[in-house]
């Protein structure tokens, strides 16, 4: 008689170990090289990689799928993006945001992402986007974990009633306190904004995730203030600095100091390589800066670096499908992380590190008795996954299959023969 609900046979873990995985009642009940007992259903992983799902640690689901059609960005710049969004945001409705966000979430699930942290613009007295995403979070809870960040897109001190909006948003369904200190009019106001963000988060017992120093200006140094406030409030492990693109412009001595204090304060960094390589360096002639924090140097100090897709078809980024592996692929290139072990570290940023940011203190990898949330990739190693950017064969959440895909079938007609191409060299194990 079958003992388990499922047994996944002949899978490979990210370190290359072969494994069978038994699943019972939504949890991983056994993991061993060869399990003798059978499952009610058996899944042949065919030597392919099995990992925890991807984590999109930073996206804006309220603005998603508005380009083309609803608006456009002629210059392609970050500031015109804010302006264009400001022009259409008074027209959005709860139903409209839900429809667009739900479509993008389904795209992400199909591509192996089951945890999504979305920033929600709360510079809107009606809280339209917040109410829409609050409903969607409940409605889609069986397939995805959504976290909502109260994001003051147009500032806190420089926006009318900004402080009240931020606080009220937390009582109206936002989970996490956001901020945007570099957008305030003065450095002093940026610091006051952060002081308020930390005070509020401490009072309400919330995580913090601030859009911080998303600029090319090397004098924008609010991440150091975040590190200091994290220490003062004893909020280590609960604070993320998002974007942090000014780090690409700091002088080496200051960059070194900043990484040291970030590590000591337990602040994680979330980078968005796809959007920021497109949006930053716009005032540069040549060479143009890359728009990404130095992930290799941060990672070397074990500062958790997680990845976000940031935008899908919106005024800041007109492209994208929400495939987080594309963000990892871009991070690998921009970060010069092509050493063999470095590529594995980039895959960890998309998975394990994201989970650490999402739920600090909880298990971040596949584990016995842990939830059966996993992905069977159409690739046999993290490096092959980063090379092929495959869609997952199977996505499982709490022991249920919630997405499946088949690899594209490609044929070349050559020399009176039909040759099938899958980009996997024969006799090569992908590692």
What value, to the nearest 5°, has the Cα angle with vertex 197 and ends 92 and 113? 55
Write the CB contacts of 80 (distance below 8 Å, at least 6 apart in sequence): 73, 74, 315
- Decide if 197 contacts 179 (C-beta within 8 A): yes
Long-range contacts of 410-414 (CB under 8 A, 24+ apart): none
Burial class (CB in 10 A: 0-12, 13-18, 19+), 350: buried
Is 125 among the catalytic positions? no
b vs e for 239-257, b when ≥16 Cβ sit within 10 Å of the residue's Cβ? bbbbbbbbbbbbeeeebee
3-state secondary structure the chain: CCCEEEEEEEEECCCCCEEEEEEECCEEEEEECCCCCCEEEEEECCCCEEECCEEEEEECCCCCCCCCCCCCCCCCCHHHHHHHHHHHHHHCCHHHHHHHHHHHHHHHHHCCEEEEEEEEECCCCCCHHHHHHHHHHHHCCCCCEEEEEEECCCCCCCCCCHHHHHHHHHHCCCCEECCCHHHCCCHHHHHHHHHHHHHHHHHHCCCEEEEECCCCCCCCCHHHHHHHHHHHCCCCCCEEEEECHHHHHCCHHHHHHHHHHHHHHCEEEEECHHHHHHHCCCCCCCCCCCCCCCHHHHHHCCCCEEECCECCCECCECCCCCCHHHHHHHHHHHCCCCCHHHHHHHHHHHCHHHHHHHCCCCCCCCCCCCECCEEECCCCCHHHHHHHCCCCCEEEECCEEEEECCCCCEEEEECCEEEEECCCCCCCCCC
Catalytic residue, chosen from 108, 193, 214, 384, is 214
Q: Which residues are catalytic?
A: 214
């Amino acid at each position: 008689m079958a003992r388990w609900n499922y047994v996944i046979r002949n899978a490979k873990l990210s370190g290359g170990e072969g494994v069978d995985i038994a699943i019972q009642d939504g949890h991983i009940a056994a993991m061993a090289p060869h399990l003798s007992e059978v499952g009610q259903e058996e899944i042949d992983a065919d030597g392919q990689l099995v990992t925890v799902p991807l984590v999109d640690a930073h996206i804006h689901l309220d603005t998603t799928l508005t380009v083309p059609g609803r608006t456009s960005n002629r210059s392609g710049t970050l500031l015109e993006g804010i302006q264009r969004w400001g022009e259409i945001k008074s027209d959005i409705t709860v139903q409209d945001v839900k429809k667009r966000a739900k479509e993008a979430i389904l795209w992400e699930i199909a591509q192996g992402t089951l945890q999504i942290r979305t920033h929600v613009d709360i510079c809107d007295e009606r809280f339209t986007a917040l109410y829409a995403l609050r409903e969607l979070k409940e409605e889609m809870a069986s397939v995805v974990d959504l976290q909502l960040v109260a994001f003051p897109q147009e500032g806190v001190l420089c926006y009318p009633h900004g402080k009240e909006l931020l606080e009220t948003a937390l009582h109206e369904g936002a989970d996490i306190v956001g901020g945007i200190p570099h957008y305030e009019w003065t450095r002093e106001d940026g610091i006051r904004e952060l002081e308020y963000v930390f005070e509020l988060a401490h009072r309400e017992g919330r995580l913090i995730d601030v859009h911080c120093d998303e600029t090319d200006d090397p004098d924008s140094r609010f991440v150091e203030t975040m590190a200091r406030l994290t220490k003062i409030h004893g909020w280590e492990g609960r604070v993320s600095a998002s974007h942090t693109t000014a780090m690409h412009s700091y002088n080496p001595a200051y960059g070194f100091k900043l990484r040291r204090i970030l590590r000591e304060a337990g602040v994680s960094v979330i980078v968005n390589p796809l959007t920021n390589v497109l949006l930053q360096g716009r005032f540069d002639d040549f060479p143009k800066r890359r728009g990404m924090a130095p992930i290799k140097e941060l990672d070397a100090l074990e500062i958790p670096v997680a990845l976000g897709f940031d935008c899908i078809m919106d005024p800041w980024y007109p492209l994208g499908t929400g495939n987080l592996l594309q963000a990892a692929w871009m991070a690998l290139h921009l970060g010069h992380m092509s050493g063999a072990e470095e590529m594995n570290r980039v895959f960890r940023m998309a998975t394990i590190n994201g989970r650490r940011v999402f739920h600090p203190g909880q298990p971040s990898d596949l584990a016995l008795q842990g939830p059966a949330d996993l992905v069977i990739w159409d690739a046999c190693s993290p490096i092959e996954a980063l090379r092929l950017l495959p869609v997952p064969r199977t996505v499982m959440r709490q022991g249920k299959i919630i997405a499946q895909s088949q690899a594209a079938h490609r044929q070349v007609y050559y020399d009176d023969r039909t040759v099938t191409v899958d980009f996997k060299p024969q006799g090569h194990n992908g590692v």
